[in-house]
Amino acid sequence: MPDPIPADPPPPPAADTAVAPAAAGRQPARRANRLFLVAGLFVAFVLAAFVSGFASSSPDGLEKVAEDKGFLEQGRDHAFSDWPIADYAVSGIGNERLAGGLAGVIGVTITFAVGGALVFAVTRLRRRRHPART
Amino acid sequence: MHIPDGFIDAPTSAAFGVVAAAGVGYAVRRASAEAEDQVVPLAGLCAAFVFAGQMLNFPVALGTSGHLIGGTLAAVLVGPWLGAIAIAVVLLVQALFADGGLTALGLNITNMAVIGALGGYLLFRLALRLLPARLPSVPVAAGIAAFVTVPLAAAGFVAEFALGGTVDLPLGGVLGSMVGVHALIGVGEAVITAATVSLVIATRPDLVYGARHLVRQAPLEIRPSAVRAPSTAGQPADG
């Protein structure tokens, strides 16, 4: 969840001594956190968009065991198997790598948004329960 | 590792839905008590990274592949409670991609978020206790824990299969095959987990939950402005 404050606010003027020292000291830390976040998301997008094209398409451990032991056919089609992003491929795109890479970008975006929103809600929960600790 | 619909019968799937809900609910409670505001984007990033990591199947043996679970990784980076929530979010989003059955969501959350993240963090702390109390021990302990969680999660599947498998099979054989192949996948899990944790420790050790107790002292040193405080006036300057 990106900070609501616009990126890189100008540093507070030196004369502004009314600012609590702790809050002033947190400014560079916040910028470093944002840099880390952007770099981390960049890596996640590169992995999902490009590196995923080189992933092995062999059955995974569970599928392989299910196949060997003869219970693979017990598996039913997924309820969402007709969805346009089913099986990590955006439907309607002929190029397999492009379809998969795009699905990866969509997935990373949704996961970041949902994960961030949920954790944001969890921290609010704390604030409501322990208002003194904000 | 994602169980599809149909492998495990409905009553067992529902029971593990309750187990998963209880596990995630408890994680939410604990996370809300300790989470600071600045971890919000980090937990989101962690979930996004695990989603990407789970797309990268690597070959392990003849015609078999495996991918990151990321439970231990998430738990070491953002803590066991937020880590378990992050993995649950990943599994939820993966349903949109028709990966892991909807009725099997509770089974998958139990195996990957509860065993993977919460169990992984427990194993991480145990491993850390056996290693010297230094920062480089953190990725090693994370790798060891990550390795163990994969066959452990596979054993979780076998337990669920024993309770409600839709086919009658000799369980010993299923257990042997599942644990065997997932021990190989665990090697990949260990390498990815240790590499990622050591990369984050090299750049921002203060952000690694599992390394907090080893970097606590550092932020106290970089406060040159604090020397101006009146209470320290009588102290000798350190140059």
pLDDT grade for A28, boundaries at 50, 70 and 90: confident
Q: What percent of chain B has pLDDT over 70?
A: 90
**Closest residue by Cα to residue B216 from B224, B227, B208:** B208
A69 shares contact with chain B (CB less than 8 Å): yes
The shortest C-alpha distance from A29 to chain B (Å) reads: 10
The shortest C-alpha distance from B33 to chain A (Å) reads: 6
Asked if pLDDT for residue A9 goes beyond 60, the answer is: no
Asked if pLDDT for residue A100 goes beyond 90, the answer is: yes
* Structural class in CATH, domain B10-220: mainly alpha
d(CA B48, CA A48): 9
For the ranges A31-40, B79-88, B119-128, which has the lowest average pLDDT? Answer: A31-40
Q: Which CB contacts under 8 angstroms, 24+ apart, belong to A46-51?
A: A47/A104, A47/B49, A47/B52, A47/B53, A47/B55, A47/B56, A48/A101, A48/A104, A48/A105, A48/A107, A48/A108, A48/B51, A48/B52, A48/B55, A49/A101, A49/A102, A49/A104, A49/A105, A50/A101, A51/B56
pLDDT grade for A15, boundaries at 50, 70 and 90: very low
Model ipTM value:
0.88
What is the domain partition of chain B in residue ranges? 10-220
pLDDT grade for B231, boundaries at 50, 70 and 90: low
Compare all CA atoms of chain A with the CA of B227 and give the residue at the minimum distance: A21
**Closest residue by Cα to residue A125 from B212, B76, B215, B29:** B29
The shortest C-alpha distance from B147 to chain A (Å) reads: 15
List B residues 183-222 in contact with A (Cβ-Cβ < 8 A).
Answer: 184-185, 203-204, 207
pLDDT at A14: 44
B5 shares contact with chain A (CB less than 8 Å): yes
pLDDT grade for B215, boundaries at 50, 70 and 90: confident
For the ranges A22-31, B62-71, B85-94, B173-182, which has the lowest average pLDDT? Answer: A22-31
**DSSP assignment, residue B61?**
E
Mean per-residue pLDDT of chain A: 82
pLDDT grade for B34, boundaries at 50, 70 and 90: confident
